[in-house]
Each structure stands twice: as structure tokens, then as C-alpha cells.
Amino acid sequence: VRYLVKVRRIPSKQIAVFAQQDPYGDSGFAGVAKAMRTLGAGDSTVLRLNYQRNTVDVDDAVAQLKAHKTPIKAIVMVATYRAAARFIEKTRDLYPAMIYTNVSFVGSTALADELMLLGKRYAVGVIVTQVVPAVAGYSSVVLEYKSALAKYFPGEAPDYVSLEGYVAANVLVQALKRAGPQLDTEKLVDTLESMRDLDMGLGTHLNFGRGEHQASHKVWGTALDETGKYQAIELE
């Protein structure tokens, strides 16, 4: 949201949310609304375009977008990859300058594959925020991950889901080493919660605590190119 408002200079009233009608969609919508308020949007109402969970029926959301009086220039998508792709398919020609952004939950690889099946014009420029650095980049953790993937799973292509899993597994390994041989659940939890300034090669340090289990609040930006590959973009 900050990227859309501060970098792309889109007024908050011209940003909508396409979301599932379930707690996941509610949480995503609430997060966008909170970010809008933080960025000074005041009491302006955020347009929510809904679709039913476990479907790709986006017709009501498309109709709602068409009927909205204020032109929408960007859509934050809190959706599964098939629903997101269907919505883009049905709106790309109507709004060729629309900016589509997705959260990492969408499944980056699946979304890219689905959009490229429709045609590269549906894919180019679609943004997905990530919780790990760009797989196409050269940060140390990405290079280590690719080396391990090639060694142990030579037939697998790098993607964001397995990179995130690689980072999480390495954090666990660090905690196990620090906890020592006399291990139990409480000791492991205490060790994890005591870890500070952990450098995993992400370009940002991880910090845990009793009330902090997320470790990182860093978000990386990626956008699809015409080949269906994600390229890093600056969000600030």
C-alpha cells in the first residue's frame, strides 16, 4: 500500500481491494485499511471487491468495479492464484493501466503460470510482494539456497515457497545448535525467543522475542516480466 501511495502517487481513494469472503480476506482487507489510515487517508472508505472462497466466480467483483464512480487505478489482491488470474483476465482490457498487486500467499509460481497461459499481456507488470528476497537475485541466502536445491533436488526450479521454507529451516537449525544436546520443547522455544540480530543472508536481521515470533517484517517487491519471471522492484 505504501508503494502505491508514496511511490506510484496513487490517491488512496483510487485503490481497491479484491478479496475472498472469509477470515483471510477480512484480515487482508483490514490490513490495507489500516495502512491507508497510517498514510493519512482519513476516513475515506476503501472499496472491497469480493468473491466467494473456493471459486473463481469474479463476475460480481468486476461489475462492482465497473459501477464504482471514482476511477480505480490499483488493486490489492488478497486471493488465490486462480481467482486472481481470472479477475485480471476479465479487467485487463477494460483498465489497461491498472496496477495489480498480490500478497505472497497467492503462490507466485502458480500465478505466473496461470497468467502466462492467458498470454503475456496479462502477466507483465503484475506485482507480488514477498517475505524473502527475489529468487532471481544474488543475495547470499538465495545463492546458498540455489546451490542446495541443485544438489539435493536437481530437477526442481527455484521458487519463493521453497526459498521461504529454506530460510525457516535454517532458523530452526540455528536454534537447535544453540539449544544444545539436552533438548526439549520448552528449551527450544526459549532459545528461539532469545535469538536477536540473526543474519541469515537476507539483507535484514531476524529478531525473535516472547511476543515476536514473526522475526522479520521486511517485504520485498517483485513484478512479472514478459517471460513470466519475477524481477525485483523497489518498494520505497
Contact by Cβ (8 Å): 106, 81: yes
pTM summary value: 0.86
Closest C-alpha among 76, 70, 105 to residue 88: 76
Mean pLDDT for all residues in the chain = 93
pLDDT in tens, 165-174: 999 999 999 9
Contact by Cβ (8 Å): 48, 72: no
As a whole number, mean pLDDT of residues 89-97 equals 96
Question: Which option is the CATH number for 138-215: 3.40.50.12780, 3.30.70.870, 3.40.50.970, 3.40.50.2300?
Answer: 3.40.50.2300
How far is CA 9 from its chain centroid? Answer: 21
Domain ranges of the chain: 2-131+219-233, 138-215
Q: What is the spatial distance between Cα 101 and Cα 234, in angstroms, rounded to a whole number?
A: 14
Contact by Cβ (8 Å): 99, 213: no
For the domain made up of 2-131+219-233, give the CATH fold.
Rossmann fold (3.40.50)
pLDDT in tens, 122-150: 999 999 999 999 898 899 999 999 999 99
As a whole number, mean pLDDT of residues 56-75 equals 96
Query: What whole-number percentage of the chain has pLDDT above 90?
Result: 86
**pLDDT of amino acid 42:** 60
Q: What is the spatial distance between Cα 203 and Cα 157, in angstroms, rounded to a whole number?
A: 23
Query: Please, what is the end-to-end C-alpha distance for the chain in angstroms?
Result: 11
Q: What is the spatial distance between Cα 197 and Cα 216, in angstroms, rounded to a whole number?
A: 10
Residue 43's pLDDT band, with cuts at 50, 70 and 90, is: low
Is 138-215 in the same CATH topology as 2-131+219-233?
yes
Q: What is the spatial distance between Cα 124 and Cα 114, in angstroms, rounded to a whole number?
A: 12
Q: Give yes or no for residue 44 having a pLDDT over 80.
A: no
Instruction: Give the type of residue at 72.
Output: I
